[in-house]
Amino acid sequence: MKSHVRVVVIGGGVVGCSVLYHLTKLGWSDVMLIERSELTSGSTWHAAGGFHTLNGDTNMAALQGYTIRLYKELEAITGMSCGLHHVGGITLADNTARFEQLKAERAKHRYMGLETEILGPEEIAKLTDGMVNLEGIIGALYDPLDGHLDPSGTTHAYAKAARMGGAEIVLHNRVLSTTQTRDGWEVVTEKGTVTCEHLVNAAGLWAREVGAMAGVYLPLLPMAHQYLVTDDIPEIMDILKLGREFPHVMDPGGESYLRQEGRGLCIGFYEKPCEPWSIDGTPWGFGHELLNESFDKIEDSVNFAYRRFPVLERSGVKRVIHGPFTFAPDGNPLIGPVPGLRNYWSACAVMAGFSQGGGMGLALAQWMIEGEVERDPRGFDVARFGNWTTPGYTVPKVIENYQMRFSVGYPNEERPAARPFRTTPMYDVFDGMGAVWGQQYGLEVVNYFALPGDARYEDPTFRRSNAWEATQQEVMAVRNAVGINEVQNFGKYRVTGPNARAWLDRIMAGLIPKPGRLSLTPMLAASGKIIGDFTVSCLSETEFQLTSSYGAQGWHSRWFDQNAMDGVTVENISDARSGFQIAGPHARELLSRVTRADVSAGAFKFMDVKRMTVGMADCIVQRVSYTADIGYEIYCDHMSMRHLWTVLNAAGADLGLRPFGMRAMMSLRLDKFFGSWGREYSPDYTPGETGLDRFIRWNKPSDWIGKAPASAEKSAGSKRTLCAFIVDANSADVVAWEPVWIDGSVQGYCTSGGYSHYTGQSVALALIPTAQAVEGLMVEIEILGEMRPARLVTTPLFDADGARMRG
């Protein structure tokens, strides 16, 4: 065993071996994998081995497609068999909502290059040789890429390919401790000590224990999962005689997946009475054991499966596989650089290892070697869970995710486990006013306020929900009077020090304002992709406030740390500084009633920021609003929140003051075609594509991050551009990812959309070819399988010239 390498990967499952292979593939050969037992120990060896591309996150779906296509490459490189069976996959829909979800997924796949298709009952019967009871089945989604493989053979193929690229693999060598050093990491093992620059935790079932060695809590939990393998089935044997194989069948209504195994079938379940395993830690001695059979918890699932697949009831059970594998709270992997530690990387909680392992290995290797990932990683970035995450939160969320693995995922759904957890001082006040709550980064955020007599629950749906009337009233209150909304759900940072301006000029692409002013600016990666959109407020030459998305705190704080500069201190004050925004035609009058400061239009201009006393609270007030109306953001110490609310609420009583939530906010922003972080603005896009380039200060002398590629894009022009459309929608508006059809072919897709309650129109924002982006362009947008006419518009629907917002 070498005493020093560039990278140590801990864990010899499919994910660890994939990371090792991809590091060598991208050019790093001085890499080592350390495994406490044999390769595939833990979860890999007893995995069912199925793979599929279906995933609600388009970037995850694309990386799953990469994973599946990679297997033939591995076989060609190594000469080893992965035991591939590309039999195709069928996902059944037994109700309208599930069928709408599948149609929405099919629509996404149109521009992703995935050749899926929607099937009717007759086509399902043909593909499954009549072995599926189609009673109640409306349709299905078919994916020809789906299939299964040999878990052991595939993992060893990754390992051999990595060895061929120069990697070293050390088996039967448990890691005892990891310690950060000035230059990297010291890894103490049973066979000696190795130092490295980068350390990757791919320890699977033991990821929590390995993370704890470095002082890291990784939010994951093993769940006991059970599947059955039948005896030989005559119907399967008949199919084999015809030179065919039985396809995968996912039956979400029955919480099961089914595939061929030899001359029989394999069926697994995501049962509601599920079983978390080793909540307090995985024993080091565990590895090649299975758990005891537990038929009680799958009894209802098995009975349902017998009705859906009658052939199973006539078949004997040859083998029961019951073993643990790990989940994160939302079911997605935990990949990337762990915030707060230098060169410590997570490659954990990849519960669908043979669907996602290749893509996750590629993503992590790109992140390590190139500094960023080719695709937006936010869906699997370990930083999406902050230091507020605890085992007490993780356990109920993982259980909920397991139970709902095959449930319909609605765009407006708010799942209840582990809530409420993190709340603001306004929680009980707003709850008493009828708040219907959402959740962002663990924080309870108001979605809307239920009207008297209405349910305190938003119905999950792909269409317009029961929040419609309440949201409309909140929107009209803002447009016609004045609305109030918490600003807790903004990420907030205090930047201080003699080099604060120089640091901001390097890390932000836009103007860094003068004292008393604020600016809007994108933050770019080295590739020129968008990794943040910020408001920068200059309080003095040595003190600035940054605001951005609350849910991006982990991502942004890590970036700030990675680009630290002497003479600058960056504090995350997202939960220490809070407050309210007020917006609407009476907003200025309301503010004037609660402060002695001069807030007249001439004294307090658009994009000004001032310190002032509001009521008795010391506040930072900036004149800007995401509602596209005249508005102010009022920031105060967290302890002053209730006082500030009392003062504003009393002063605004005769002005029509009304609280509003995020449903109204997202409708209001559409009137001005304002983009949103994570939708229009993300690491998938560039400033030129999204219009954020108008906020770049191209002539500032600093060599800001991303300058060269952004400048190159400006010179060459963007091939696609963000546009707004008025959609002839019915009961369903654009959410995101719907394809845009131009002249009979898919040439773009929607980034977000919704209903403009102020104008009574359905709005979509979409990326289309720049050459096509002309006023009045008629297109069709595919919404839940329906082609809806849409017209490109360039004039905002409200305050087109900005006179009211700036007045």
DSSP code per residue over 255-268: TEEEEEETTEEEEE
Angle in degrees, CA 656, 439, 432, rounded to 5:
45
Give 240-285 pLDDT, tens digit per residue.
999 999 999 999 999 999 999 999 999 999 999 999 999 999 999 9
Give 45-87 pLDDT, tens digit per residue.
788 788 888 887 888 888 998 999 999 999 999 999 999 999 9
- pLDDT attached to residue 289: 87
Both tokens of 117, joined, read 């298709």
Both tokens of 279, joined, read 């909540």
Given pLDDT bands bounded at 50, 70 and 90, which one contains residue 465? very high
How big is the chain, counted in residues?
807
- pLDDT attached to residue 55: 84
Handedness of CA 502, 508, 511, 516 (dihedral sign): negative
- pLDDT attached to residue 54: 80
Is residue 587 predicted with pLDDT exceeding 90? yes
Both tokens of 645, joined, read 């609310």
Both tokens of 300, joined, read 């209802």
Q: Which residue has the higher pLDDT, 55 or 634?
A: 634
Residue 372 CA from chain centroid, whole number: 16
CA distances from 128 to 247, 304, 316, 636 (A): 7, 18, 20, 63
Is residue 41 predicted with pLDDT exceeding 90? no
How many whole angstroms separate alpha carbon 273 and alpha carbon 641? 42
How many whole angstroms separate alpha carbon 26 and alpha carbon 22? 6
Measured over all CA atoms, what is the biggest interatomic distance in the chain, rounded to whole angstroms? 88
Q: What is the pLDDT averaged over residues 477-489?
A: 96
Nearest to 365 by CA among 355, 377, 354: 377
Query: Token pair 């035991």 is at which residue?
Result: 83
Query: Token pair 């898919």 is at which residue?
Result: 746
Give 145-191 pLDDT, tens digit per residue.
899 999 999 999 999 999 999 999 999 999 999 999 999 999 999 99
Mean per-residue pLDDT of the chain: 96
Given pLDDT bands bounded at 50, 70 and 90, which one contains residue 110? confident
Contact 418, 396 (CB under 8 A): yes
Is residue 637 predicted with pLDDT exceeding 90? yes
Q: What's the pTM value of the predicted model, to 2 decimals?
A: 0.95
Kindly report the three-state secondary structure assignment for every residue of 319-342.
EEEEEEEEECCCCCCEEEECCCCC
Q: Which residue has the higher pLDDT, 288 or 351?
A: 351
Q: What is the pLDDT averaged over residues 709-718?
A: 97
How many whole angstroms separate alpha carbon 645 and alpha carbon 260? 62
* Domain annotation for the chain: domains and CATH numbers: 1-82+149-220+328-387 (3.50.50.60), 465-488+576-670 (3.30.1360.120), 490-574 (3.30.70.1400), 680-692+708-805 (2.40.30.110)
Nearest to 447 by CA among 293, 663, 642: 663
Both tokens of 751, joined, read 């980034």
Q: What is the pLDDT averaged over residues 415-425?
A: 97
Residue 452 CA from chain centroid, whole number: 34
How many whole angstroms separate alpha carbon 93 and alpha carbon 115? 19
